[in-house]
C-alpha cells in the first residue's frame, strides 16, 4: 500500500512539472523531455521500489528471527514449567497412593476389630462365658502384678473350709489377712438400663433388676467368702467392665453403701490393679523390715566381736609398748658397751677412766 501512495505522489509531481514545462518550451521539446523524464522516473521508481522491497525483506527477516528466538525461549520455559509441574504432580500422586494404601490398611484393621467386637459380644451374651471371661481377666491382672504362679502371695480357684471355691485369694499381711476376690459380670440388665432406644419405663425396670443383681452378688460374696478366723473381714467383688463400675459409682450410691455395709469392696480392672499394687508394696516393705531386723541383729553381734577385738588389740599394744621400752634400754646398754670397746681399742686411758664412772 505504501508503494501505491508513493507512486501516486510521483504522478502528481510529474503532472505539475509537465504543466510548468509546457509554458516554457514548445511541443517538440515537450515530447522529448517527457520521454526522458518518463525514463528517469521509471528508473528512479524501480530503484526506489527495490530499496523499499529490500528494506521490507530485511525487516521481515529480522522480525522473523526475533519471533523465532522468542518462541524458542517461551517453548523452553513452558517445557521447564511442565517438567516441574509433572514432577510435583507425580510426587502428589505417589503421596495419594501411599495415603490410600494406609487408609486401606486402616480399613482392614477396623473390619478386623469390628469382627472381634462382634465375637466378644457373642461371647458375653452367655452367663457361663461371661464368668470365664471375668476369671481370665482376674488371672491376667494377678499375674501381671505378682508374677505367674506366685503361690506365696496369691492362688487361683482357692477352696475354703466351708466348701466354697473362690476365683482367687490374696495372702496379704496383717491386719488385712487372707482376702478373697471373686469375679461377677452383671451385663444383661445393665445393657437394657443404658439402652437409649428403650422407653423410660423399660429402662427404669431394667435399672431395678440391675440393682437386684448387684445386691445378690454382694450378699453371696459376703456370706461365702468372709469367714472369721480364716479370711479377712472383707472381700473384693471384681467387675471386669470399667463401664459398669463407672455407672455404679456415678449414679448408684445406694449399691456402694450396701456393699460397704456388707464389707465387700467393688473394683474394676483399673482399681483392682491399684489395690493389688498397694498390697505388693506392703509385702515388699515387710520383707525389707524383716531382713533389716536380721541385719540389725548381726550388726549387734559384730559389735560385740569388735569390742573383744579392741580389748585384745589394746592388750597387744601395751605389750608391744613394753617390749619397745625394753628394746630401747637394751639398745642404750649396747651403745655404751660398743663405746667401751672402741675406747679400749684406741687405748685412751683417760677417757676410759671417765666412762667407767658412768658405767658403774
Place of cell 649396747: 334
Residue 212 has, within 13 A of its CA and on its CB side, a CA count of: 9
Peptide bond into 175 cis (omega under 30): yes
Identify the pLDDT of residue 10. 63
Round to whole Å and give the CA distance between 194 and 203. 7
Identify the pLDDT of residue 196. 85
Residue 310 has, within 13 A of its CA and on its CB side, a CA count of: 6
Place of cell 465387700: 264
Identify the pLDDT of residue 119. 43
Query: What residues contact 259, with CB distance under 8 A and at least 6 apart?
Result: 218, 237, 265, 266
| Helices of type H across the chain | 2-24, 27-124, 127-146, 188-193, 200-225, 242-251, 253-261, 269-346, 349-359
Which residues on adjacent β-strands are paired with residue 84?
Answer: none
Identify the pLDDT of residue 146. 85
Round to whole Å and give the CA distance between 36 and 106. 102
Q: Which three cell numbers stand for residue 56?
A: 521490507
Identify the pLDDT of residue 197. 86
Round to whole Å and give the CA distance between 210 and 256. 13
- SS3 of 227, please? coil
* Residue ranges in the chain whose pLDDT is less than 50: 113-123, 352, 355, 357-360
Identify the pLDDT of residue 63. 73
Q: Whole-model pTM? A: 0.49
Round to whole Å and give the CA distance between 139 and 280. 16
Instruction: Give the strands of the sheet with 264-267, arranged side by side.
Output: 154-159, 165-171, 178-183, 235-238, 264-267
Identify the pLDDT of residue 75. 74
The arrangement of secondary structure in 127-286, i.e. its CATH architecture, is: 3-Layer(aba) Sandwich (3.40)
Identify the pLDDT of residue 357. 47
Amino acid at each position: 500500500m505504501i508503494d501505491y501512495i508513493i507512486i501516486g505522489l510521483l504522478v502528481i509531481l510529474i503532472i505539475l512539472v509537465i504543466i510548468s514545462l509546457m509554458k516554457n518550451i514548445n511541443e517538440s521539446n515537450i515530447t522529448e523531455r517527457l520521454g526522458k523524464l518518463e525514463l528517469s522516473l521509471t528508473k528512479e521508481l524501480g530503484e526506489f521500489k527495490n530499496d523499499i522491497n529490500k528494506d521490507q525483506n530485511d525487516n521481515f527477516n529480522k522480525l522473523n528471527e526475533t519471533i523465532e528466538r522468542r518462541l524458542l525461549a517461551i517453548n523452553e520455559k513452558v517445557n521447564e514449567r511442565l517438567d516441574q509441574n509433572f514432577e510435583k504432580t507425580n510426587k502428589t500422586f505417589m503421596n495419594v497412593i501411599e495415603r490410600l494404601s494406609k487408609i486401606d490398611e486402616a480399613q482392614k484393621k477396623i473390619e478386623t476389630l469390628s469382627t472381634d467386637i462382634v465375637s466378644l459380644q457373642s461371647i458375653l451374651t452367655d452367663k457361663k462365658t461371661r464368668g470365664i471371661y471375668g476369671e481370665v481377666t482376674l488371672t491376667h491382672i494377678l499375674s501381671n502384678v505378682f508374677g505367674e504362679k506366685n503361690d506365696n502371695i496369691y492362688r487361683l480357684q482357692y477352696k475354703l473350709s466351708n466348701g466354697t471355691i473362690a476365683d482367687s485369694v490374696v495372702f496379704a499381711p496383717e491386719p488385712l489377712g487372707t482376702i478373697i476376690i471373686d469375679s461377677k459380670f452383671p451385663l444383661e440388665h445393665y445393657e437394657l438400663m443404658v439402652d437409649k432406644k428403650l422407653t423410660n419405663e423399660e429402662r427404669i425396670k431394667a435399672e431395678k433388676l440391675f440393682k437386684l443383681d448387684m445386691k445378690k452378688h454382694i450378699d453371696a460374696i459376703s456370706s461365702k467368702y468372709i469367714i472369721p478366723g480364716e479370711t479377712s473381714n472383707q472381700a473384693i467383688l471384681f467387675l471386669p467392665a470399667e463401664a459398669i463400675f463407672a455407672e455404679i459409682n456415678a449414679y448408684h450410691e445406694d449399691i456402694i453403701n450396701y456393699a460397704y455395709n456388707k464389707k465387700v469392696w467393688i473394683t474394676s480392672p483399673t482399681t483392682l490393679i491399684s489395690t493389688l499394687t498397694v498390697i505388693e508394696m506392703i509385702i515388699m516393705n515387710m520383707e525389707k523390715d524383716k531382713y533389716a531386723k536380721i541385719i540389725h541383729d548381726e550388726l549387734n553381734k559384730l559389735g560385740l566381736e569388735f569390742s573383744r577385738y579392741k580389748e585384745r588389740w589394746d592388750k597387744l599394744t601395751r605389750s608391744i609398748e613394753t617390749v619397745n621400752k625394753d628394746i630401747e634400754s637394751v639398745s642404750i646398754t649396747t651403745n655404751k658397751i660398743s663405746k667401751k670397746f672402741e675406747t679400749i681399742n684406741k687405748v685412751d686411758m683417760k677417757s676410759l677412766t671417765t666412762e667407767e664412772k658412768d658405767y658403774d
